[in-house]
Amino acid sequence: MLETTVTQITEATVETLRTEVAEATGRAYGAERAYGIKLCSVLPEFWYKTEHQDKGDDAKKVHAEKKALFTELKKVEHTNPSTVWARVRKYAQEHAEPKDPAIDGASATTEAPVGARQNRSLTLRLVEELTTLYKATKNADSLSDKERNAQTHITSALIAMGVDVATIE
């Protein structure tokens, strides 16, 4: 007769594993932050703003370091090295460009952190999207009655936002 052993996960085992995950995450956070800060002293100034399509000697140095990191991460079978790189860049930017507590209410002209989505103001979003719709209806070969009515409202909305529709090409 074949005996099988079934390992049961107990509360203590779950707690131990949870603690190990938290500790590993803490080590990874510290290592990523230290790595990003160190790169600020060995790579060109503002290296963390280098994007994948950038060219030039400075960009080549950054791309070489990124490739080296990706190689190391792939050795340990990391499934998404770009997320680690994004965090390293973010930590480097936080180190190189510390926030001034007096400016904590960021203005619309403040540059967004590396890898972050830039939030557009509602006014800007409305003008951009209404302009896109305006151009689409203006360039259409023919419009149905509903589309023509929508075009009238789009034009009115742009005027209400202070846009001179005569300047839209």
Q: How far is CA 67 from the centre of its chain?
A: 19
Judge whether residue 121 has pLDDT over 90.
Answer: no
Judge whether residue 14 has pLDDT over 60.
Answer: yes
Say what the pTM is: 0.54
Residue whose tokens read 């007096």: 102
pLDDT at 11: 58
Q: Give the integer Cα–Cα distance in Å for 43 and 93.
A: 13
Residue whose tokens read 């001179």: 164
Q: Are 154 and 133 contacting, i.e. CB atoms less than 8 angstroms apart?
A: yes
Judge whether residue 1 has pLDDT over 50.
Answer: yes
pLDDT at 107: 45
Give residue-wise pLDDT tens across range 124-150.
Answer: 888 889 999 988 888 888 889 999 999
The lowest-confidence range among 3-7, 66-70, 108-112, 126-130 is 108-112
Greater confidence (114 vs 28) lies with 28
Query: Helix, strand, or coil here: 114?
Result: coil
